[in-house]
């Protein structure tokens, strides 16, 4: 519009033309950056885990990250839940790819790992060391964490189960992170809530997990927002 006005007034004084050009430049920049102040980016929550997070055997929209994000948005929360799951991961594999996952620049992290360690009967001391290294790294990044616990299969013996199960509450207390005792609470061993393999939740099972974990996740988000406000 200003260009048109300038074009129809060739006799404008140079100072007036300069002012009009300056206004045109400001308007152009205003449009290029989106027509106004940038909207705040959604809070990023990284769900970091194995196939239980990744969504093994589930259709699009039914995975844990997708259902969790939908539940949060239904409550009016602008949160993006990043699917940082990788089927088959042990805690060692998770630790090895942690830097790659953090490239997503999350504001908070939910950690779910260890099921494959116990299914393979790996040494609980190694599982504990890997999880501790993950928590230490996340703490160094200043990220609030929700640690989801796992329970060992009982066919591995009482001693193994007791040592493995104790890893999660101990690490949560030692590192001062939020703790959800058992990721598969109310879903494990429930045939109607699991796929045919009896291990991985179906869409209904994931819905149960999300509903049970939601209060803890909401507190994690509050912590992340409070930290961002303090930093800003």
Q: HSE-up of 57 (CA within 13 Å, CB side)?
A: 16
Q: Identify the CA nearest to 47 among candidates 179, 181, 151, 146.
A: 146
In sequence order, what are the beta bridge partners of 44?
A: 80
Catalytic residue among 50, 51, 54, 165: 51
Residue 176 zone, left/alpha/beta (φ > 0; ψ -120 to 50; rest): left
Report which DSSP code applies to 183: T
Report which DSSP code applies to 39: P
Q: Please, which residues have CB within 8 angstroms of residue 65's CB and are 6 or more apart in sequence? A: 47, 53, 55, 81, 82, 83, 85
Q: Does residue 165 carry a catalytic annotation?
A: no
The Cα 181–Cα 215 span in angstroms is 13
* 63-73 per-residue burial string, b: 16 or more CB within 10 A, e: under 16: bbbbbbbebbe
Q: Does residue 200 carry a catalytic annotation?
A: yes
In sequence order, what are the beta bridge partners of 178?
A: 146
The Cα 2–Cα 8 span in angstroms is 10
Catalytic residue among 50, 107, 117, 200: 200
- Phi/psi for 146 (5° steps) reads -115, 115
Catalytic residue among 159, 196, 197, 231: 197
Question: Catalytic residue positions?
Answer: 51, 197, 200
């Amino acid at each position: 519009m200003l260009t048109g006005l300038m074009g129809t007034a060739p006799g404008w004084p140079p100072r007036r033309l300069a002012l009009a050009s300056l206004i045109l430049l400001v308007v152009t920049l205003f449009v290029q950056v989106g027509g106004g102040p940038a909207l705040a980016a959604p809070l990023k929550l990284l769900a970091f885990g194995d196939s239980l997070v990744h969504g093994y055997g589930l259709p699009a929209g039914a995975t844990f990250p997708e259902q969790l994000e939908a539940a949060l948005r239904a409550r009016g929360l602008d949160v993006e839940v990043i699917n940082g799951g990788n089927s088959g991961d042990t805690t060692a594999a998770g630790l090895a790819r942690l830097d790659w996952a953090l490239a997503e620049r999350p504001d908070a992290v939910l950690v779910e790992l260890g099921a494959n360690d116990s299914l393979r009967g790996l040494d609980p001391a190694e599982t504990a060391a890997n999880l501790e290294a993950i928590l230490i790294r996340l703490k160094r990044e200043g990220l609030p964490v929700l640690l989801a616990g796992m329970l060992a299969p009982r066919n591995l013996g009482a001693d193994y189960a007791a040592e493995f199960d104790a890893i999660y509450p101990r690490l949560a207390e030692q590192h001062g992170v939020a703790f959800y005792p058992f990721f598969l609470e109310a879903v494990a061993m429930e045939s109607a809530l699991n796929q045919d393999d009896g291990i991985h939740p179906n869409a209904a099972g994931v819905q149960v997990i999300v509903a049970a974990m939601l209060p803890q996740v909401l507190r994690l988000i509050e912590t992340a927002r409070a930290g961002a406000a303090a930093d800003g």
